[in-house]
Structure 1
Amino acid sequence: MNSPDGQDNSATVLIVDDDDDIRTLLGEYLRLHGFDTLEAAQGPQMQAILAEAQVDLVVLDLNLPGEDGLSLCRRIRAESTLPVIMLTAKTAPLDRVLGLETGADDYVCKPFEPLELLSRIRSVLRRTRLQNDSQPHSTTPVKLRFAEWELDLVARHLCSPEGTVVSLSGSEFRLLKIFLDRPNRVLNRDQLMDMIHGRDAGPFDRSIDLQISRIRQKIEVDSKNPQIIKTVRNEGYVLSAPVEVVAE
């Protein structure tokens, strides 16, 4: 469905917030701009909706009664790559870091302008769709092999040298894919931010460093002394491993 500004917003957004007014106002605003919306006040309602409905993105409040947003985001990320935007009334960097560490694709601090959240929803959905469009349409899995690891481009997960499946958040998958597409090439933070976030990235956004740290914890023998994704002082990061395309 096209919004009043002519953009195609054919997607379903699940709003999870215990504040009735926020759910109602945000739902009305998103529907005005062409989205379908579903609403949940707490975790159990969210889980029930996700089990029954096709949802394209979740807007998830951090401070929920019962199971909080961080825990719910971990639960979503363990089961899928469904995009999540975290809402938080807190502005401390630690809260934003915690949200990203759990696998959220973006965050917005309360109070927020609905237009800002609308922009971020569109941006995350656009990145997700571009990533999905770039995936092979064959039923034959295609993988990228590096340092005895394999990144499955269809299932969007990692397979360790021992054969263990390691889940990735949407942002982790996109970032690792960028490195695997450019082995032995130094990429600075601005380049990575532009490739992942485009013009929506803030000038002081440190989420790239956080996401690289999370990837290193999953693939490096010693994440404090990385040998696969290395830091090049004053320049950026580099994937120091050959990459092989594998079709099965």
Structure 2
Amino acid sequence: MQETLEDRGFRVITAKNMAQFRKLDAEEDVDLYLIDTSLPDGSGLSLVRELRQVTDRGIILLAGRRDEGEGVRGLELGADDSLVKPFRQRELAARVTAVYRRTGRGTPVRPPEQPNVDHRFEGYSISLQSRQVWAADGSEIMLTTSEFELLAALIARRGQVLSRDQIMNAIKGRHWESYDRVVDGIVSRLRRKIPSATRGSHFIRTVHGVGYAFTA
């Protein structure tokens, strides 16, 4: 894996266990994490949960075929992607490149008149080009790749109800199966990060038995 990614221009740092990882992570400025679900001294899922509480950097989870359900659980916890072992090195490189590109960040605060704002609602601003969301005070709201893509998919069809299948296809494409729990988890996190200050309900409305709609 290291050789494959280095051949494509990435600088790769490896850790054999949680203790070594924590030491390296404190010393290095990491852009993307590849985390195995089975670690010799801890849980990869616990590490995903821990990292997502403090960073919006890219996270890809690696799960064995017998532990494929842990890959789904990782998505619920905020991982951007997951791969089931064994996988082709070409697929690994493609997934890493895609997540790395999607999670690129610009400056945290937008100027008063930023030209690339595509959507505004209740003080929030969204730039599809830079993949950023700002609150009314100009502070950036950090979203994971899946959170941003789900929000963009709903806003693109504002007022229309999208099924979970449509949402999952929009944010992950044909390589992904539709897991209701994953979509529900992403929606729940978005509601917490982008609350409504003037209405009693959320911007993302649940249509029971169908899916979700953006109503701002």
Shift of 1:188: 3.6
Query: TM-score, normalization: structure 2?
Result: 0.70
1:50 to 9, 25, 30: 25
User: What secondary structure sits across from 1:41 in the alignment?
Assistant: coil
Tell me what 1:169 maps to: 144
The alignment covers a number of residue pairs equal to 201
Measured after TM superposition, the shift of residue 218 of structure 1 is 6.8
Q: 2:187 aligns with which of 205, 209, 212?
A: 212
Find the counterpart in structure 2 of residue 106 from structure 1.
81
1:94 to 69, 76, 94: 69
Tell me, which stretches of 5 or more residues in structure 2 are unaligned?
A: 196-200
TM-score (norm 1): 0.62
Q: Structure 1 residue 202 and structure 2 residue 176: aligned? A: yes
- Residues 176 and 41 from structure 1, CA distance in 2 versus in 1: closer, same or farther, beyond 3 angstroms? same
Supply the RMSD in Å over aligned alpha carbons: 3.8
Q: Could you list the runs of 5+ residues in structure 1 that have no partner in the other structure? A: 1-25, 160-164, 221-225, 243-248
Distance in 1, matches of 2:95 and 2:178, equals 17
Structure 2 CA distance for partners of 1:53 and 1:205, relative to 1, 3 Å: same
- Corresponding residue for residue 83 of structure 1: 58
Change (3 A) 1:213 1:137: closer
What is residue 64 of structure 1 aligned with on the other side? 39
Deviation at 1:109, TM superposition (A): 1.6
**Secondary structure at the residue paired with 2:60?**
strand
In structure 2, the CA distance between the partners of 1:172 and 1:230, relative to structure 1 (3 Å rule), is same
C-alpha spacing 1:170/1:43, structure 2 compared with 1 (3 Å): farther
- Residue 73 of structure 1 pairs with residue 48 of structure 2: yes
From 179, 187, 191, the equivalent of 2:162 is 187
Q: Is the 8 A contact 1:57 1:83 kept in 2?
A: yes
2:4 aligns with 29
Identical-pair percentage: 35
> Any idea what SS the aligned residue of 1:94 has?
helix
Distance 1:50 1:136 in 2: 22
